[in-house]
Amino acid sequence: MRRLATWRAALCGDLRGAVVEIGAGTGLMFAHYPAGAQVTAVEPDDGFAALADPRRAAAAATIAVARGTAEALPLPDASQDAAVFGLVLCSVRAPAAALAEARRVVRPGGAVRLLEHVRSPRPIAGALMRAANPVWRALNGQGCNMHRDPLPDLAAAGLAVERVEAFQVYSPGLPAFPLRAIWARVP
C-alpha cells in the first residue's frame, strides 16, 4: 500500500549508523533506509528471510539478515544507533520484552521507531476488536493480534516517546485499521 510506504520512509529515512530492524519479515522497510545505514535485519522465519533477499540486494543501505527473535536479539548491549519495528509488535509473544530488548541493544540517546496497527481508541470498536481477536488470530496464521497498544509497553521498557502520529488505512470491503507511527528514544 502506498500509504504505508510513505510512513515507512518517514520512520527510516533519516536513520544512519548501526540500525537493527526487529522482525524484518519480507523486507518491506529495506527500500526506505538511506545509504548511510548499516542494518541488521532480525527475522525468526527462514521463509520470510528468503523472500526479503531481493529487497536486501536492491537496498541503498547495507543490510545483513540475522536469525533471531524480538525477545532475544543477537546483538551486544548498546551496539546500535537505532531500532525499528514495522508491523511486528502485534505478533510477538511478549511486546514489553521485545521493547526492553530494543532498549538493551540501542545506545543511550538512540532512536526507536515503530509502525504498528493498534486497538481502536473508540470504546465500542476497541471492545469489538478485543472480542474478535481470538478468531482473527486463528485465521491470520501469523499470530497477529488486532487489539494491542504499544504505548504502555514503551513506557514500561523505559523508552521516551517523542512523537505519535495516528492514521488509518482503508481497503475496499474491509474496516479501517488504526495505525500509529511512533518515534521514541533511549534516555
With 60 as the cut, is the pLDDT of residue 147 above it?
Answer: yes
With 60 as the cut, is the pLDDT of residue 2 above it?
Answer: no
- For the four alpha carbons of 99, 2, 61 and 42, in that order, the dihedral sign comes to positive
With 80 as the cut, is the pLDDT of residue 68 above it?
Answer: yes
Q: What is the pLDDT of residue 121?
A: 79
End-to-end CA distance of the chain: 33
Q: Are 186 and 109 in contact (CB under 8 A)?
A: yes
With 60 as the cut, is the pLDDT of residue 175 above it?
Answer: no
Least confident of 40-49, 59-68, 132-141, 168-177: 168-177
Sequence length of the chain is 187
Q: Are 99 and 156 in contact (CB under 8 A)?
A: yes
Q: What is the pLDDT of residue 122?
A: 78
Least confident of 112-116, 125-129, 164-168, 183-187: 125-129
- What whole-number distance in Å separates Cα of residue 93 and Cα of residue 137? 12
With 90 as the cut, is the pLDDT of residue 174 above it?
Answer: no
